[in-house]
């Protein structure tokens, strides 16, 4: 009786949602093969008498973040945050003048940082945030997000998510999917705003991680950030992180670079039904255009080459997206 009340309640909820959502799915997508592929996939795995029907617990979709849900230019936004933090804290750290990476960052010498973006980010985060507690770090991200603006688009960074991808996130959730972020970016950085910005709760945000130490400071238990990197959630690390965090294989994966190749393979190869999608940046007017030789992160060669054989959908941003960004800028929470 308890079970049946619950099931009935769930059915009422799902019916109401589906009826509204399916009238006009994905309105910011132009009609075409990419949009159709998304709609077809969702239909076949959620139709009860379909051979491809998936039980709700198996409806798991994973999304890369930088370049897939929001831009990664002129630099990945977490690196923009770290650079702003560096400038904010520099007056108290005269010793930074002896550190070539930090000094390059302060001088705006982006070429030096780009030689190894991940190493630069790690070095800058170490200098700015090692020793802070996770709560303090969280507050710093919040403070930054409420004041910083993107240099080209002049909006808060979390006002620059891709509207078509926001629609995909919502569309999947309306059809019983759980949506996860699986990003090379820092897990703790993304969790601060992912729930407000994407509707993705902290336990569904997977990312790179630095070491943490449990301490009791003046009677208060804290987790203190330590220097270094424990886990890089990129390339072959993505399937590992997915397995560890979720414990089930996803059936849908969305990415934009070779950093997502292993995640796309893990999600789709020798699996049916499954779905893979690559966002190809082809729109320098409204956003950016890059693949083989990106100005920032996001190199895309092998995944694009494999896309046809693997049946992955390649989104041509310029052609497939009616709108790129939401018209009103988001503010932080």
Contact positions toward Ca ion, by CB under 5 A? 64, 66-67, 256-257
Residues of this chain, 113-132, that bind a second copy according to CB under 8 A: none
Question: For residue 55, what are the β-bridge partners?
Answer: none
> CA 289 to CA 282: how far, in whole Å?
4
Nearer to a second copy, 159 or 239 (CB): 239
User: Taking the CB of residue 10, how many other CB atoms lie within 10 A of it?
Assistant: 12
Q: In the complex, what is the shortest distance from the CB of residue 115 to a second copy, in angstroms, rounded to a whole number?
A: 26
Q: In the complex, what is the shortest distance from the CB of residue 105 to Ca ion, in angstroms, rounded to a whole number?
A: 22
Partner from a second copy, Ca ion, none contacting 16, C-beta within 5 to 8 A by type: a second copy
> CA 305 to CA 303: how far, in whole Å?
5
Strands (E), 73-231: 178-186, 205-208, 212-217, 220-225
Partner from Ca ion, a second copy, none contacting 1, C-beta within 5 to 8 A by type: a second copy
Q: In the complex, what is the shortest distance from the CB of residue 256 to Ca ion, in angstroms, rounded to a whole number?
A: 5
Q: In the complex, what is the shortest distance from the CB of residue 1 to a second copy, in angstroms, rounded to a whole number?
A: 7
Question: For residue 225, what are the β-bridge partners?
Answer: 212
> CA 256 to CA 182: how far, in whole Å?
12
Q: In the complex, what is the shortest distance from the CB of residue 219 to a second copy, in angstroms, rounded to a whole number?
A: 7
- With CB under 8 A as the rule, give the number of residues binding a second copy: 43
The DSSP call for residue 52 is: T
Is 23 a residue that touches a second copy (CB under 8 A)? no
Strands (E), the chain: 60-63, 178-186, 205-208, 212-217, 220-225, 252-255, 275-282, 289-290, 313-316
Residues of this chain, 253-272, that bind a second copy according to CB under 8 A: 262, 265-266, 269-270
Site string for a second copy, 212-231 (x = CB under 8 A): xxx-x--xxx-x--------
Q: In the complex, what is the shortest distance from the CB of residue 316 to a second copy, in angstroms, rounded to a whole number?
A: 27
CB 299 within 8 A of CB 264: no
Partner from Ca ion, a second copy, none contacting 66, C-beta within 5 to 8 A by type: Ca ion
- Burial class, 264, CB count within 10 angstroms (exposed 0-12 / middle 13-18 / buried 19+): buried
The torsion defined by the Cα of 170, 171, 176 and 178, in degrees rounded to 10, comes to -50
Q: Which residues bind a second copy (CB under 8 A)?
A: 1-2, 5-6, 8-10, 12-13, 16-17, 20, 57, 134, 187, 191, 201-203, 205, 209, 212-214, 216, 219-221, 223, 236, 239-240, 243-248, 262, 265-266, 269-270
């Amino acid at each position: 009786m308890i079970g049946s009340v619950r099931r009935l309640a769930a059915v009422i909820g799902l019916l109401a949602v589906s009826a509204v959502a399916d009238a006009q799915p994905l309105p910011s997508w132009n009609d075409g093969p990419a949009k159709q592929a998304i709609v077809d996939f969702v239909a076949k795995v959620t139709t009860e008498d379909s051979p491809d029907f998936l039980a709700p617990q198996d409806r798991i979709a994973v999304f890369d973040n930088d370049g897939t849900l929001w831009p990664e230019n002129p630099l990945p936004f977490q690196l923009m945050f770290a650079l702003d933090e560096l400038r904010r804290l520099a007056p108290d750290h005269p010793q930074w003048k002896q550190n070539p990476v930090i000094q390059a960052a302060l001088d705006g010498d982006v070429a030096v940082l780009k030689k190894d973006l991940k190493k630069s980010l790690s070095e800058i985060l170490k200098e700015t945030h090692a020793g802070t507690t996770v709560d303090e770090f969280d507050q710093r991200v919040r403070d930054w997000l409420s004041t910083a603006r993107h240099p080209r688009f002049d909006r808060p960074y979390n006002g620059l998510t891709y509207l078509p991808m926001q629609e995909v996130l919502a569309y999947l959730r309306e059809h019983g999917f759980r949506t996860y972020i699986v990003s090379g970016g820092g897990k703790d950085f993304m969790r601060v705003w992912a729930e407000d910005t994407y509707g993705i709760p902290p336990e569904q945000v997977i990312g790179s991680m630095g070491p943490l130490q449990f301490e009791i400071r003046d009677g208060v238990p804290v987790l203190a950030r330590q220097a270094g990197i424990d886990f890089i959630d990129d390339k072959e690390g993505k399937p590992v992180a997915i397995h560890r965090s979720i414990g089930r294989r996803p059936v849908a994966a969305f990415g934009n670079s070779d950093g997502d190749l292993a995640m796309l393979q893990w999600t789709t190869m020798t699996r049916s039904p499954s779905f893979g999608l690559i966002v190809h940046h082809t729109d320098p007017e409204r956003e950016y255009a890059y693949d083989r030789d990106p100005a920032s992160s996001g190199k895309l060669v092998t995944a694009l080459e494999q896309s046809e054989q693997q049946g992955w959908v390649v989104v041509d941003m310029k052609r497939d997206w009616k709108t790129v960004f939401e018209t009103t800028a988001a503010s932080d929470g």
